[in-house]
């Protein structure tokens, strides 16, 4: 019992750290967008006052601002995600065929492919939602997901496996895979006392 309490306390600490990181990421991105909106308003005001409407329209018709904002989001998301899940790519590779292994990034910069599945690890699985967040078309996201699924060892369960990597601390016993270690979960008929306390911290319970 003492061991379980110690493990549960540690998991609670880790969960709180993750929540704080999510909040920091949200506040950081929100503050950056507010600042950019203010700069954008000043630019429009200055151009209009100087009768430079043609130049303003030219600026508005470029994709430079959109690309800068997208890159800002990528940088912040990648850094926050890799701080939360530093072993994510290694865990993802365990789900892929040996000849299809991904290169583990040496920095916090993720590829588009890894970034898509990082969002899925966080529970964002809808292609339209991912496309909106990453500024891609839904078809592009679908192509990435289909391409990665084709490299998977188990294609049928690949996307659900991403949310619960093989090395996750949620797995206490081999016979509890896919049961989420929870006596209330489908496929698990253990008594509450038999289940690992990590069940309380499964993403579905947070």
Which residues are CB-neighbours of 58 under 8 A, at least 6 positions away? none
Q: What distance in Å separates the CA atoms of residue 138 and residue 69, rounded to the nearest whole number?
A: 19
CA distances from residue 183 to 3, 14, 173, 176, 180 in whole angstroms, order as listed? 20, 23, 13, 10, 9
Place of tokens 């880790």: 14
Once rounded to an integer, what is the mean pLDDT over residues 161-176? 50
Once rounded to an integer, what is the mean pLDDT over residues 188-201? 41
Contact 1, 188 (CB under 8 A): no
Contact 201, 127 (CB under 8 A): no
The pTM of this model reads: 0.62
Query: What separation, in Å, do the N-terminal and C-terminal C-alpha atoms of the chain show?
Result: 23
Once rounded to an integer, what is the mean pLDDT over residues 183-194? 42
20 backbone dihedrals φ, ψ, rounded to 5°: -65, -35
Which residues are CB-neighbours of 93 under 8 A, at least 6 positions away? 101, 102, 104
Q: What is the pLDDT of residues 90-126, one digit of tens each?
A: 999 999 999 999 998 888 899 999 999 999 998 888 9
Residue 193 is predicted with a pLDDT of 41
Q: What is the pLDDT of residues 62-101, one digit of tens each?
A: 777 778 888 888 998 898 888 888 899 999 999 999 999 9
What does 6-23 look like in DSSP terms, one character per residue? HHHHHHHHHHHHHHHHHH
> Per DSSP, what are the bridge partners of residue 152?
96
Contact 197, 183 (CB under 8 A): no
Q: What is the pLDDT of residues 140-162, one digit of tens each?
A: 999 999 999 999 999 999 999 99
* Mean pLDDT for all residues in the chain: 76
Residue 196 is predicted with a pLDDT of 40
Contact 169, 198 (CB under 8 A): yes
Which residues are CB-neighbours of 23 under 8 A, at least 6 positions away? none
């Amino acid at each position: 019992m003492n061991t379980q309490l110690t493990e549960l306390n540690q998991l609670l600490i880790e969960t709180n750290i993750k929540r704080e990181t999510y909040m920091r990421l949200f506040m950081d991105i929100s503050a950056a967008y507010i600042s950019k909106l203010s700069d954008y308003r000043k630019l429009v005001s200055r151009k209009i006052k100087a009768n430079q409407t043609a130049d303003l329209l030219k600026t508005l018709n470029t994709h430079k601002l959109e690309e800068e904002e997208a890159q800002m989001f990528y940088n912040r998301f990648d850094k926050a995600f890799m701080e939360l899940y530093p072993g994510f790519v290694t865990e993802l590779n365990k789900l892929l065929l040996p000849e299809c292994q991904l290169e583990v990034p040496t920095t916090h910069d993720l590829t588009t492919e890894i970034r898509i599945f990082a969002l899925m690890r966080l529970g964002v699985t809808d292609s339209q939602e991912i496309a909106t967040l990453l500024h891609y078309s839904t078809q592009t996201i679908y192509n990435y997901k289909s391409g990665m699924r084709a490299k998977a060892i188990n294609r049928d369960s690949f996307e659900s496996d991403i949310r619960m990597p093989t090395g996750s601390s949620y797995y206490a016993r081999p016979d509890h895979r896919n049961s989420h270690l929870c006596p209330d979960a489908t496929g698990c008929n253990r008594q509450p006392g038999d289940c690992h306390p990590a069940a309380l911290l499964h993403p579905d319970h947070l």
